[in-house]
Structure 1
Amino acid sequence: MTLQSFSLPSATERLTVSYDGIRRAAEIICHGGVVAFGTETVYGLGALSTSRKAVARIFDIKGRPSFNPLINHFATPDRAFAEVTLDIPLREQALALAERFWPGPLTLVLPRHEGSRICDTASAALPSLALRVPQGRAIQEMLRLIDAPVAAPSANRSGLISPSTASHVLSGLDGKIDAILDTGPSAVGVESTVVDLSGARPLLLRPGGITREALEEICGPVDTQTSDNHQPRSPGQLSSHYAPHLPLRLNADHIKASEALLAFGHIPGALRHSPLIWNLSENEDLAEAAARLFAGLHFLDYEGKRRNLSGIAAMPLPSHGMGLALLDRLRRAAAPRPHQN
């Protein structure tokens, strides 16, 4: 878009999903600003991937470790692939996955092209880049107007619960970011699936909005490496992540008098007397559960603290389909915090 005389906002602007709101969000990002916006997965915190200064602001706002790379967002697959090399053994798998799942909740990790415009700060100086083409009219139009890669991790302080609504973002980042484009609740509700195609076999780095079963229908067997606290190849690999302030206990078959309950499906009698309950899906629908996960954790954490509860107990979840992503988020949310080690 055409750039004119401009100064960044002095307070966080609330933007609506209108022509003017989308254009304003793009304008702020083009001038080096940081804007939160909704995608189909969760709300992202976006800045130009080509600007070290802008990307550094993302890390500073989030309190994110500099070794943890960011996902770069594009309006089209062609623009994404222009930043990487496809002269690799898994070229056909990369193209097939992009054709099937872009735009959508899939991130591909591929070798960086020597002419890539993306700054080393965004990639944590790795030889690979994480690329995504997100779904949604507003985010697609914003990226088209920007016409440059946009780095966008989840719009929250590092390690805490991801935001699936604008209010979740503002509760932690109001006054710290330049603007927020409110696109409503995120439909998928968990972050994108991340697949590394830079090696000899597809490698699942983070389960997410595209199931492992769906991936393997396209590209065959997929290996797994979902944790790396020292040099992660993608976001979501740190062992402690997505954490509420209250401690989280998994696979609960009983409830303490002072515990909130994160339920799934039918609630057994031993759990029904919890003073605070959020059911991810009464019908045991994993897609519905994913869409309600982070909203539920935000609610139980906020209301549980207000009621002086001691923690959150989570019922068991299935491990197939979207259940794999749900379990991944809950295991990291329940892991010891870095300051507890």
Structure 2
Amino acid sequence: MAIFKTQVVSEHEDGAISSAVELLRAGNLVAIPTETVYGLAADATEHCAVQQIYEAKGRPSNNPLICHVSDIEMAKSYVVVPPIAEKMMQRFWPGPLSLVLEMRQATKIALPVSAGLHTLAVRCPDHEITRQIIRALGHPIAAPSANPSGKLSPTSVADVKTGLGGKIPLIIDGGNTDVGIESTIVGVRAGKLYLLRPGTVTADDISQAMGEPVFDRDNSEITAPGQLASHYAPTAHVRMNASHADDSEIMIGFGDVAGNYTLSHSGDLREAAQNLFRILRAADNTGAQTIAVAPIPNHSIGIAINDRLKRAAAPREAT
């Protein structure tokens, strides 16, 4: 893989959009800001460019990518959008909700984006410059998190540089991300809604807005990003539901449970989600063998936080 002198350009700088689009059109990768985490973008219609995402991240080829679109109309060019999916798009887009829908047969989306599946995950990000880049490119971008596969997701430019510096030519600096964890993913099949990955748009939010139940994922096959057993992992081991830190551990608190760091002093789940990867990274950088994490209530956004922590705590595959 090519070695680059990675350039960082502020989203407010003149020429930021044109620079990103020029690189994407040439088949290169660009790290872009979204409201969730930073994404590693390629033109989703270019096979070789998308393959570079898997190579740069060290990502398993059976782990599909999310296509980011500029609006609902662009999504409709690549996936079949039933009425319930369009209603969700109108309610939650732009925003941290990805929908897995049937891919159109005549689509030009590169095969590695869907990992060979007949479905495609689509999302319209709530970050203006990223939508402008997609609009100027004229195609969706495939954009998983801009980090080595399985590691902590990046919520700042510094995180991206640490993980992918030298592997990509450009990072668009949009500051620290607002949401802090990856999008909710919902599959739509035969008119029913399935939660494939929890996020800050909760199953209750969707059910309330749609007037329809949201079912749990009903099989163990990988049908969307973020479903690998071990994922979002620091170098240190992670111990969940801890009331205190043992020897050789560092503590991440929440609410009334104190720690060396805290996800939220007030017990605010949205604040905890925003801080999760940043604080896990800070705790990991201390060199502690184990990161102990206080109990997180398993409701609302807490379901998504616990999902990330469970995958961070899962046994890692030998490399």
Within 5 Å, give how 1:289-304 maps onto structure 2.
289-303=272-286
Q: 1:217 is matched with which residue?
A: 208
Rg bigger for which structure? 1
Q: Which residue pairs with 1:318 in the alignment?
A: 297
Q: How far 1:78 sits from its partner (Å)? A: 0.6
Q: Which residue of 2 aligns with 1:58?
A: 53
Q: What secondary structure is seen at the aligned counterpart in 1 of 2:15?
A: helix
Given that 1:49 and 1:55 are in contact with CA atoms closer than 8 Å, whether structure 2 keeps it comes out as yes
1:66-85 matched pairs, under 5 angstroms: 66-85=61-80
* CA displacement, residues 242-275 of structure 1 (integer Å, 9 cap, x when unaligned): 000000001012321321111111226xxx5xxx
Match runs of 1:86-105 below 5 Å: 86=81, 91-105=82-96
Please give the residue correspondences for 1:126-275 in structure 2 after superposition, counting only pairs within 5 Å: 126-219=117-210, 220-225=212-217, 228=220, 231-267=221-257
Q: Which runs of 5+ in 1 are unaligned?
A: 1-7
In the TM superposition, residue 200 of structure 1 has moved relative to its aligned partner by 4.3
Question: Which SS does the other structure have where 2:192 is aligned?
Answer: coil
**Superposed CA offset, 1:33-52 (max 9, x none):** 10111100000000011111
Q: 1:133 to 1:114 in 2, by over 3 A?
A: same
Normalising to structure 1: TM-score of the pair?
A: 0.89
The alpha carbon displacement at 1:224 in A equals 1.1
Within 2, Cα distance between the matches of 1:136 and 1:158? Answer: 23
Deviations 1:210-268 (A, max 9, x none): 1111111123111112874xx41110111110000000001012321321111111226
Deviations 1:316-341 (A, max 9, x none): 0011111111000000000001229x
Aligned to 1:107: 98
1:41 aligned residue (36, 39, 57): 36
Matched, 1:19 2:14: yes
Provide structure 2 residue ranges, at least 5 long, that are not aligned to the other structure: none
Aligned with 1:11: secondary structure? coil
Q: Which residue of 2 aligns with 1:282?
A: 265
Post-superposition offset of 1:134: 0.3
For residues 130 and 184 of structure 1, the distance between their equivalents in structure 2, rounded to whole angstroms, comes to 26
Secondary structure (helix, strand or coil) at the match of 1:15 reads strand
1:116 corresponding residue in structure 2:
107
2:99 is paired with a residue whose SS is strand
Cα distance in 2 for residues equivalent to 1:247 and 1:169 = 22
Encode CA deviations 1:107-151: one digit per residue, 9 max, x unaligned: 000001011110111100100000000011211211111110100
1:172 positional shift: 1.2
2:250–2:292 CA contact under 8 A, matched in 1? yes
1:335 aligns with 314
CA distance in 1, matches of 2:233, 2:88: 31
CA contact (8 A) 1:227 1:239 kept: no
Give 4+ residue runs of structure 1 displaced > 2 Å after superposition: none
CA distance in 2, matches of 1:190, 1:213: 18
Q: Structure 2 CA distance, aligned partners of 1:15 and 1:209? A: 28
Separation in structure 1 between the aligned mates of residue 121 and residue 224 of structure 2, nearest angstrom: 7
Match of 1:32, SS? Answer: coil
Deviates more, 1:20-29 or 1:151-160: 20-29
Measure the CA separation in 2 of the matches of 1:226 and 1:236.
16
On the 8 A contact 1:34/1:47 being kept in 2, the answer is yes
Query: SS where residue 336 of structure 1 aligns?
Result: coil
What's the % identity of the aligned pairs?
41
Residue 318 of structure 2 aligns to a residue in which SS? helix
CA distance in 2, matches of 1:21, 1:200: 41
Displacement of 1:27 after TM fit?
A: 1.5
Q: Is the 8 A contact 2:251 2:292 kept in 1?
A: yes
How many aligned positions are there? 316
